[in-house]
Structure 1
Amino acid sequence: MSDDTAIKPEGVVSDDHVVLGKLTSPYGVKGWFKVYSYTSPMEGILDYADWVLEHRGQRTTRRLIQGRRQGKGLVASLEGIDSKEQAESLAGAQVLLPKQTLPELSPDDYYWYQLEGLRVVTLEGLDLGRVDYLFETGANDVLVVKGDADSIDDKERLLPFLPDGVVRETDLAAGKMTVDWDPDF
């Protein structure tokens, strides 16, 4: 039996970067940003010193000077951004991280971006579609599986990401996840 877990960050921007979060808006007048983090826990984004920012088709790298929890969210200060106006010019930028700088996982752990796009097949061999994305519910993560031309139907299904329960096998090399799931759900 495996101890599979899905770990954020989520979305893939390219073959070599993942999205950790985004700069939502300026915070104060000294160039700080409000930051929306896709990492779990949310403060995990602050563990990375160099942020690749993608904004309006351009990429720049900025060093994280300081970051902290502020209310229900995060705020951060980046090197070279010293005014509200400079921060406004980067509002909406995605925060990327080169995949090679992500921590190494044990063989039965996965980042969410690795699960997105996997073909989902039941124990009986019925094709349910592909993992479109995942989300958290508090109790467990949920796989959103969308049917396509190669699946048994075009339904969207919500499957709990429960290793050794619903999710029986994940084969990244084959691009396939085997699940114990009734297709009528």
Structure 2
Amino acid sequence: MDNYLSVGKITSAYGVNGEVKVYPLTDHLDRFYDLDYVYIFDDDKRVQYQIESVRFIKNLVLIKFYEVNDRNEAEKLKNKFIKITMDDAVELEEDEYFIKDLIDMKVYTEDKRELGVLKEVLKTGANDVYVVKTDERDILIPAIKDVIKDVDINGKKMIVHLLEGL
């Protein structure tokens, strides 16, 4: 499952013709237009779905799969993640990372003090927020250049500069 990347989560059926509403888990929304097919895992069984159409409403993506033709079939996909292979992933810019590569990364302060482990990335709109689990509590760290000083994907290590109040 490491070779797959979640690009969206199906939130519900939309209409009666089998479309699904998808909450995007990518910053590159145009990428949905470039996909011919995606994968959905159901009890460790991988199923490939061919994309018939893509459109947007507000901050959600509406996707119609050739294999899903009515609301009942679409409802069965609710809360499932839409995945692609890493080969189909967009090329990241400098200082961009896949969330899956950040999860479980150890987080240190600039003076080499271990803060905790990055457990979640919150998408807030303006910037992402990293949830770092410490022994005492969770710390919310904004993912901005003033705070995130170094990210070592291979070493699973992040260096942060804590702003006053964090």
TM-score, scaled to structure 1:
0.78
Gaps of 5+ in 2: none
- Pair 1:37-2:24 in alignment: yes
AA in 2 matched with 1:123: E
Residue 150 (structure 1) aligns with: none
3-state SS of 1:128 partner: strand
More off after superposition, 49-58 vs 127-136: 49-58
Residue 136 (structure 2) aligns with: 154
Does the CA contact (< 8 Å) of 1:132 and 1:144 recur in 2?
A: yes
Map 1:77-116; keep pairs closer than 5 Å: 77-116=64-103
With over 3 angstroms needed to count, the CA separation of the structure-2 counterparts of 1:45 and 1:123, relative to structure 1, is same
Residue 171 (structure 1) aligns with: 152
More off after superposition, 81-90 vs 115-124: 81-90
Deviations, residues 76-114 of structure 1 (Å, cap 9, x unaligned): 110122222322333332211112221222453312221
TM-score, scaled to structure 2:
0.86
Give the count of matched residue pairs: 166
1:43 deviates by 5.3
Does the CA contact (< 8 Å) of 1:21 and 1:45 recur in 2?
A: no
Quote the Cα distance in structure 1 between the aligned partners of 2:141 and 2:26.
21
Quote the Cα distance in structure 2 between the aligned partners of 1:82 and 1:118.
41
Q: Which has the higher contact order (CA 8 A, sep 6+)?
A: 1
- Pair 1:75-2:75 in alignment: no
CA RMSD of superposed structures (Å):
2.3
3-state SS of 2:75 partner: helix
Quote the Cα distance in structure 2 between the aligned partners of 1:71 and 1:105.
25
Gaps of 5+ in 1: 1-13, 148-152
